[in-house]
Chain A
Amino acid sequence: MKLFSGRRAFVLQRLSALVLLAYFAAGALRLAFGPPVTYLQWQAWSAQPLAAAALLVLAAALLGHAWVGIRDVVLDYVHPPGLRLAVLGVAAAGLTFLASWTVLVLVSHVNSA
């Protein structure tokens, strides 16, 4: 089945890994060497459209990477087709919920600023 094609998952996993690596490196440097962030700074920074877009890219990479990880574990260890479909369905629904919720949170935040 095309949905379970290994190459697409492989590419998505590697690309999202590189995106996450860049964000985590930047975040770790900021955490280690920058002053603590206040609410007002965080609020103002994340309300800029470009910053909110960058946070959305981070969320998309994290959720896409999580999807490939869950998918790989399920395909390796859950063999009955019905159960496999159910577990993947629950995972996909959960990740889709988190993605939509993040879009709503960030869009309303940018609009409220």
Chain B
Amino acid sequence: METLLQQIINGLSLGAIYALIALGYTMVYGVLRLINFAHGDVYMLGAFSGYYLAHALGLDGNPSVPGAIVVTIGAMAICAVVGMLIERFAYKPVRHHPRLTALITAIGVSLLLEYGGQVVFGATPRFFPQMIESRTYALGGVQITNQNLLIILVAVVVMFGLEFIVHRTRIGKAMRATSYNLQVAKLMGINTDRVIAFTFALGSALAAAGGVLVALAIPRIDPLMGLMTGLKAFVAAVLGGIGSIPGAMVGGVLIGLMETGLSATAYSTYRDAVAFGVLILILVVRPAGIFGSTAVEKV
């Protein structure tokens, strides 16, 4: 019973990270119908921005909570700008091309960030500074570190914040309109270019937050860290129903729970395959995902 609870806690914190990244996939897909393959690499950039910021602020060795908050917000800002730049210089020129062209471009951007990262940051893993002193709380036999607690808390806060932005603000309304029909939204006077840029900025900032949080809990960062995590987060978005914000959250948590659940069994070596097995299963059983609605294809 205790091990089960322990696994659930671990799964929740892993799932919260997938959820944070999945939100970015789902938002961009909702607006542009594009799988932004580079999103996982923006998450990696977030971790590296955090790394350099923490070193610049001298947080290496003397942990402080306000410093950690500054680093996180700084990394989010950097990645928001990077996300907008990617959209402006890579995706915007191919927006009216066939979707395949956009997809290949996205893969190109992803490769550029990964291998560019290897050239700039070096291929060997870096160790992220301990910005927050590690503490472990024991609740009736179940252990939880303050970092894992923080990850879950931040994910929940972000989820509510995002729901607020999308459903209660002007730009959120514009996002929903663009996602519903880009052409018509444009005709109604919505500056869709700005909405798309904002979507990219928002999604990238969330991925950056995920990157810094992960680096706090598991301080090994390398330029390819976003590849697998990004793909699994995408699966999470599809599982929850791509285009749906609560779906991304639920999908992320489910994938996290399944992975940690499998790690505890004899099949732990198959851990990396579980997300893709789930993906194939969901495409057979319910392609729209848990929260998605089946849309009728129109000509």
Mutual binders A and B = no
